[in-house]
Amino acid sequence: MSMDLGLPALERAAPQLMRAEPILTMAGISRRYGDVTALRNVDVTVYPGEVMGIVGESGSGKSTLLRMMNLEDTPDSGDYRLRLPRRDDGNLFDLARYERRMLCARHIGIVYQNPHLGLLMRHSSSGNVAERLLVAGERSFEVLRGKAREALEASEFPLTRMDARPIELSGGMQQRVQLAKAIALEPALLLLDEPTTGLDVSVQALVLDTLKRLQRDRRITMVLVSHDLGVIRTMADRVMVMRHGEVVEEGLADQVFQDPQHAYTQQLVHAKL
């Protein structure tokens, strides 16, 4: 016989503290590809300086959502706003392709799981970083070189290799070049799509430590997608759990891992080795 597991619903309309306004707000994001529902009515709110982790099994929609945040795709419906200094772009999905490209180049950084998506493999590492600065309008060679050096250094990339091509570098080093490129213009938002997947554990620890330091020292707001719960637990302040294109649970990282409320989250957390 099945027990009645109904619990009393809690009032969540509590008084709020004097905290900052959200930097990212997405509302009602839905996307279908043919017969497949990739995202169904997803809402996201991210506050300045926090790391929002997104977990879920393959095909849950987490990477699709990240691509939406990077304006690489447009949903069938939904609203997306970034709170940026001295500008109001309204719903970013209404922007023209060129405007999207400029906004992303200037205000959003992204690190892909596959470095081939984020880097020009046959250009120098410093050139890859400088390319991001060029898109934003920088033209002076000295400034380009100086800023590229600074971003590579902040990403703990060895400067003696700054003229090496990514194709000559290890996976961990390639991720550092991607990271340097992503933070070169001090973006309002850094998107990380499985940034440590495929790296050996010691390199993974170094990349995570670099990210944590960047978040601490530069207060960069991050959205981190990973299927690795250990990575999310180490990095994230808050966590969204996705399944079949929907958000099934959202909460403080420790709460989601220690007291998961949804049956799927419990399954996910208990399956962790």
Residues near another protein (CB under 8 A) are 2-3, 5, 7-8, 10-19, 47, 50, 201-202, 205-206, 208-209, 212, 216-217, 234, 237-238, 250-252, 254-255, 258-259, 261, 263, 266-267, 270
Beta-sheet pairing, 77-82 with 24-33: antiparallel
> Smallest distance from the beta carbon of 213 to another protein, in angstroms?
9
| Comparison of 11 and 142: residue with beta carbon closer to another protein | 11
d(CA 38, CA 64): 7
Residue 262 dihedral angles phi and psi, to the nearest 5°: -100, 145
> Smallest distance from the beta carbon of 267 to another protein, in angstroms?
7
> Smallest distance from the beta carbon of 3 to another protein, in angstroms?
6
| Comparison of 13 and 96: residue with beta carbon closer to another protein | 13
| Comparison of 36 and 263: residue with beta carbon closer to another protein | 263
> Smallest distance from the beta carbon of 237 to another protein, in angstroms?
5
> Smallest distance from the beta carbon of 226 to another protein, in angstroms?
15
| Comparison of 40 and 212: residue with beta carbon closer to another protein | 212
| Comparison of 50 and 148: residue with beta carbon closer to another protein | 50
Nearest 10 degrees: Cα torsion 224, 27, 73, 243: 60
Residue 125 dihedral angles phi and psi, to the nearest 5°: -60, -45
> Smallest distance from the beta carbon of 188 to another protein, in angstroms?
17
127, 113 contact by CB (below 8 A): no
d(CA 121, CA 58): 27
Element (DSSP H or E) covering residue 204: helix 201-218
> Smallest distance from the beta carbon of 135 to another protein, in angstroms?
32
| Comparison of 245 and 251: residue with beta carbon closer to another protein | 251
CA 171-174-179 angle, to 5 degrees, is 125
| Residue bearing tokens 């949804």 | 262
Where helices occur in the chain by DSSP H, the ranges are: 62-69, 97-107, 115-118, 125-135, 141-154, 171-183, 201-218, 229-235, 253-258, 263-270
Give the three-class secondary structure for 81.
Answer: strand
| Comparison of 95 and 240: residue with beta carbon closer to another protein | 240
178, 115 contact by CB (below 8 A): yes
The type of residue at 253 is: A
